[in-house]
A and B are shown apart, each in its own frame.
Chain A
Amino acid sequence: MKLSIYRYDPDKDAAPYMQDFDVPLEPSDRKLLDVLVRLKAQDDSFSFRRSCREGVCGSDAMNINGKNGLACLTDMNEVSEPVVLRPLPGLPVIRDLIVDMTQFFKQYNSVMPYVINNDPLPEKERIQSPKEREELDGLYECILCASCSTACPSFWWNPDKFVGPAGLLQAYRFIADTRDQATNERLDNLEDPYRLFRCHSIMNCVDVCPKGLNPTAAIGKIKEMMVRRAV
């Protein structure tokens, strides 16, 4: 399989460059990650993140033929050659396909991604009805791979101020949670021209999400709740 990969080692390279590789395939190869692991065995200077290799950890998010996605979920039969691999766009590159996700996680932390409930702790657990629990479907599955936020031009231009689709999806996950008591505080936290309203609904996030989630819909629901609160 022919690959063209973004290479950059700040200790050695003056500027990033694309390097071509030809990796022979094995019958057991199913996903793009299998090829990358084989390439790493050939050339151990090649760097990328990976962990669970089954679309749960979100470590191996990268730009594959111009579209963000997970190498471990990318079927080898569905990618056209040469496979062009670049780091996630918009984030500082640490080395090769490894990016610095500090800014991404700062935004994630800023939405208070945990249930806030000041009632006394129950003996066992805080109960939800099946219907209330259903509200969280399509939200809790996010693996924070950053494919969506780094495909969003608003996040490219204002990563320090715009929460981004991943953070906003998680913000709505806790706004929608019936066990959470900080809904007003959360809506106040997002009522800002930058934090929420940089989203112009172009839906790049929906297009790239490897888990098939819909951050644009979640953002729409946050706005809908603001309307319900205001009128």
Chain B
Amino acid sequence: MNQKIIVGAHYGFRDWLGQRVTAVLMAFYTVLLLAVLLVQKPAHYLGWYGVFSSWWMKVATLTFLLCLFYHAWVGMRDIWMDYVKPTGVRLCLQVGTLVWLVACGMWALKIFL
């Protein structure tokens, strides 16, 4: 295979910005969740069930989880790009990460819907 160094994929900016935006959204959600927990003080299963039963809390939590998975995708891809050199191995790890995060997203949807 040709060993020429190739760069210039012309992406990266959107993911970098997306990672920062999702970080801010997750910070907002963390504050919201702490406030809700302080008010409702769930002590048992039904209490915790109640925290996440309102429609707005479901929407907020699902949005948070989507942000988390996107944020984790960019972060994990960065790690693979930093440290894993062979292209085939890197591609496999990236696909594995993506499949795992999409599966987690589906699981979260199943729990909340």
A153: nearest chain-B partner, CB-CB: B82
- Residues B81 and A193 in contact, CB atoms below 8 Å apart: yes
CB distance from A112 to the nearest CB of B (A): 14
Interface size on A, residues (CB 8 A): 20
- Residues A191 and B78 in contact, CB atoms below 8 Å apart: no
Partner-contacting stretch, out of B4-12, B60-68, B105-113? B4-12
Interface size on B, residues (CB 8 A): 16
Chain A residues with Cβ under 8 A from B8's Cβ? 189, 192, 195
Chain A residues with Cβ under 8 A from B9's Cβ? 192-194
A179 on the B face (CB < 8 A): no
CB distance from B60 to the nearest CB of A (A): 25
A161-B5, A161-B7, A200-B78 given; A191·B13 CB < 8 A: yes
Interface flags for B71-92 (1: CB within 8 Å of A; 0: not) read: 0000000100111000000000
CB distance from B93 to the nearest CB of A (A): 15
A157-B82, A157-B83, A158-B82 given; A197·B16 CB < 8 A: yes
In angstroms, Cα B102 to Cα A88, docked, is: 43
What secondary structure prevails in chain A residues at the interface with B?
A: loop
CB distance from A176 to the nearest CB of B (A): 18
Q: In the complex, which of the residues A195, A198, A226, A227 contacts B82, with contact meaning CB atoms closer than 8 Å?
A: A198
CB distance from A167 to the nearest CB of B (A): 12
Q: In the complex, which of the residues B5, B12, B17, B83 contacts A193, with contact meaning CB atoms closer than 8 Å?
A: B12
B5: nearest chain-A partner, CB-CB: A160
- Residues B11 and A195 in contact, CB atoms below 8 Å apart: no
Interface flags for A171-196 (1: CB within 8 Å of B; 0: not) read: 00000000000000000110111111
Q: In the complex, which of the residues A160, A189, A223 contacts B16, with contact meaning CB atoms closer than 8 Å?
A: A223
- Residues B5 and A192 in contact, CB atoms below 8 Å apart: no
In angstroms, Cα B14 to Cα A154, docked, is: 20
Per the 8 Å Cβ criterion, residues 1-50 of B in contact with A are: 5, 7-17
- Residues B82 and A193 in contact, CB atoms below 8 Å apart: no
In angstroms, Cα B12 to Cα A194, docked, is: 8
- Residues B13 and A230 in contact, CB atoms below 8 Å apart: yes
Q: In the complex, which of the residues A154, A158, A160, A196 contacts B12, with contact meaning CB atoms closer than 8 Å?
A: A196
B residues at A contact (CB < 8 Å): 5, 7-17, 78, 81-83
26 CB < 8 A contacts A-B: A158-B81, A158-B82, A160-B5, A161-B7, A189-B8, A191-B11, A191-B12, A192-B7, A192-B9, A192-B10, A192-B12, A193-B9, A193-B11, A193-B12, A194-B12, A194-B81, A195-B8, A197-B12, A197-B13, A197-B15, A197-B78, A198-B82, A200-B78, A227-B17, A230-B14, A230-B17
